[in-house]
Amino acid sequence: MQFRIIRDIKTQRADFVFYSNRIIRILVEEGLNHLPVQATSVSTPTDLTYKGLKFEGKICGVSIMRAGESMEQGLRDCCRSVRIGKILIQRDEETAEARLFYEKLPEDIKDRYVLLLDPMLATGGSAIMAVDVLIAKGVPVERILFLNLISSPEGIDAFAKKFPKLKVITGFIDEGLNEQKFVVPGLGDFGDRYYCI
């Protein structure tokens, strides 16, 4: 139901944000389920021991600006005091090629598991460039998870060919890309609909 609502051109911004946030929270929780855990025990108020699990390691989120920033709050809602890095990559509208403009990442990012955040995976160019930036900073590809709401088969294919060991957590795989390299049926420009309209 949430995907129908956020795809509808008639959906007002408040509803678009609300339902997008619901989907983002589910994606973040699913992403966290893919991180390594270790067995641990705790004492309960009934003087018994409970055997459970705890996360093994440190994490951070890295949003591909601007639309990826919409996913940061969902990560913060699940992980208190999580560090957030930023990468600004913009797609040239004429060539559909990605260009890196800016990156600001935690100094110890190579020691963390990284949840890469971007709501749309179209050609895969921006996501591939973002992963290249993370790898250049020393992050092992196996420690990166890419979270997005909607993907194109072409983007998933390009991404998987370049990074076969990297996990992609997506909410929906659409039909494909149109001539302008936009995901179809898609939902339009996610960042504009989330922040502006």
In contact, 77 and 25? CB cutoff 8 Å: yes
Among candidate residues 95, 99, 108, 111, the one labeled active-site is 95
Q: Please say if 11 is a catalytic residue.
A: no
Burial class (CB in 10 A: 0-12, 13-18, 19+), 155: buried
Looking at this protein, which amino acid is placed at residue 17? V
Burial class (CB in 10 A: 0-12, 13-18, 19+), 195: middle
d(C-alpha 64, C-alpha 61), whole Å = 10
pLDDT of residue 197: 63
pLDDT of residue 109: 97
Q: Please say if 7 is a catalytic residue.
A: no
Is the domain 2-195 a CATH 3.40.50.2020 member? yes
Among candidate residues 92, 108, 157, 192, the one labeled active-site is 192
Q: Please say if 174 is a catalytic residue.
A: no
In contact, 187 and 175? CB cutoff 8 Å: no
From first to last of its 197 residues, the chain has per-residue pLDDT tens of: 788 999 999 999 999 999 999 999 999 999 999 999 999 999 999 999 999 998 888 999 999 998 999 999 999 999 988 999 999 998 777 776 778 899 999 999 999 999 999 999 999 999 999 999 999 999 999 999 999 999 999 999 999 999 999 999 999 999 999 988 889 999 999 999 999 86
- The domain locations on the chain are 2-195
